[in-house]
C-alpha cells in the first residue's frame, strides 16, 4: 500500500481539495483573460470538485470518495447562496460523521446483511453450546439480533465504531432479545479475537488482508472466519456458501 493510502481518507480528500483550489487560483486570471469575462464562483467550485474527484479516482479510492469530492464544493456554494442557517451545516456534518465514521477513517462503508443471508449464516454456525460469535462492524445490529434469536444457546457480540449505528443497534437489542446478545462501541482493530469462536464481517475489500492476518494470529485453532462477499487476497476460502437472495450473496468461510 502506498504512503498516500496509509493516510486517513478524509485527510487525502482535504489535501486534494486544497490542491485543486490552489491550481484554480493560479490559472483563473489566465482563463478569464482568454474568455474575456469573470468566471462565476459556482463554476470555479464545480471545477474544483471535478479536479479533486479526478485526483482521488486516479489514486484508486472507492467510488463514493469520487462522488463526495465532486459534490462538496458546489453544495457548499449552494448552501451559502440559499442562506441556510449557519448551524445547519455543522449539525449535518456531525450527523454524517456519526453515521459514516468508518468510511472516513477505515474506508469501510455501512453494508447491512440481509435477512436471507443472516438466516443462512445461522444454519452454518457450529452446533456447540456456549460458542461466542462476533460481528466486526455490526452496523445496526440486525445480523446479531437474528442469530441470537435462532441460537439462544450461543453468545453474540457486535462491535461498531460509528456512533449512530451503534446507538441504534444497542437500543434495538433491548426489545425482544435475550441476554445472549451484546453490542459495544469500539473499533475492532483494538479488539483481541482470542476469546471468539466465530468471526463474521461484511466490510469492504480494503481491510480484508490485514483483518484475516489478525484473525490467524489471535484466534484459536478450529475457529471460523466468515466474510460476506469480500475475499482475502491470495487466500482461497475453505468453502463458499451461496445465498439465494437478490444480490446472489456468497459467504466465504475460512477454517483457522
pLDDT in tens, 150-201: 888 899 999 988 777 888 888 888 887 778 999 998 888 888 999 999 999 9
Q: What is the pLDDT of residue 86?
A: 59
Q: What is the pLDDT of residue 137?
A: 87
pTM, rounded to two decimals: 0.66
> Which residues belong to CATH 3.40.50.150 in the chain?
115-255
For domain 115-255, give the CATH number.
3.40.50.150
pLDDT in tens, 206-253: 889 999 999 999 999 999 999 998 999 999 999 999 998 877 899 999
> What order of strands is seen across the sheet that includes strand 250-255?
181-185, 155-160, 132-136, 198-201, 224-228, 250-255, 239-242
The percentage of residues in the chain with a pLDDT greater than 70, rounded to a whole number, is: 83
Residue-by-residue DSSP string for 32-85:
HHHHTSPPPHHHHHHHHHHHHHHHHHHTT--HHHHHHHHHHHHHHHHHHHTT--
CA distance 135 to 150: 16
Q: What is the pLDDT of residue 1?
A: 47
Amino acid at each position: 500500500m502506498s504512503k498516500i493510502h496509509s493516510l486517513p481518507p478524509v485527510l487525502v480528500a482535504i489535501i486534494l481539495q486544497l490542491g485543486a483550489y490552489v491550481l484554480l487560483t493560479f490559472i483563473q486570471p489566465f482563463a478569464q483573460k482568454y474568455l474575456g469575462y469573470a468566471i462565476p464562483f459556482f463554476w470555479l467550485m464545480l471545477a474544483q470538485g471535478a479536479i479533486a474527484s479526478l485526483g482521488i479516482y486516479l489514486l484508486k479510492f472507492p467510488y463514493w470518495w469520487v462522488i463526495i469530492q465532486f459534490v462538496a464544493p458546489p453544495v457548499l456554494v449552494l448552501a451559502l447562496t440559499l442562506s441556510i442557517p449557519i448551524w445547519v451545516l455543522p449539525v449535518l456534518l456531525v450527523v454524517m460523521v456519526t453515521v459514516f465514521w468508518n468510511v472516513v477513517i477505515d474506508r469501510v462503508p455501512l453494508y447491512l446483511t440481509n435477512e436471507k443471508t443472516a438466516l443462512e449464516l445461522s444454519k452454518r454456525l457450529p452446533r456447540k453450546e456456549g460458542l461466542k460469535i462476533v460481528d466486526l462492524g455490526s452496523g445496526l445490529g440486525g445480523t446479531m439480533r437474528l442469530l441470537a434469536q435462532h441460537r439462544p444457546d450461543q453468545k453474540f457480540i457486535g462491535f461498531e465504531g460509528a456512533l449512530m449505528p451503534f446507538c441504534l443497534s444497542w437500543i434495538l437489542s433491548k426489545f425482544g432479545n435475550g441476554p445472549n446478545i451484546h453490542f459495544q462501541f469500539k473499533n475492532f482493530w483494538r479488539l483481541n479475537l482470542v476469546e471468539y469462536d466465530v468471526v463474521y464481517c461484511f466490510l469492504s475489500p480494503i481491510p480484508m488482508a490485514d483483518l484475516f492476518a489478525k484473525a490467524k494470529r489471535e484466534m484459536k485453532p478450529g475457529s471460523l472466519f466468515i466474510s460476506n462477499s469480500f475475499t482475502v487476497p491470495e487466500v482461497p476460502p475453505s468453502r463458499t456458501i451461496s445465498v439465494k437472495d437478490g444480490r446472489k450473496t456468497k459467504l466465504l468461510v475460512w477454517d483457522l
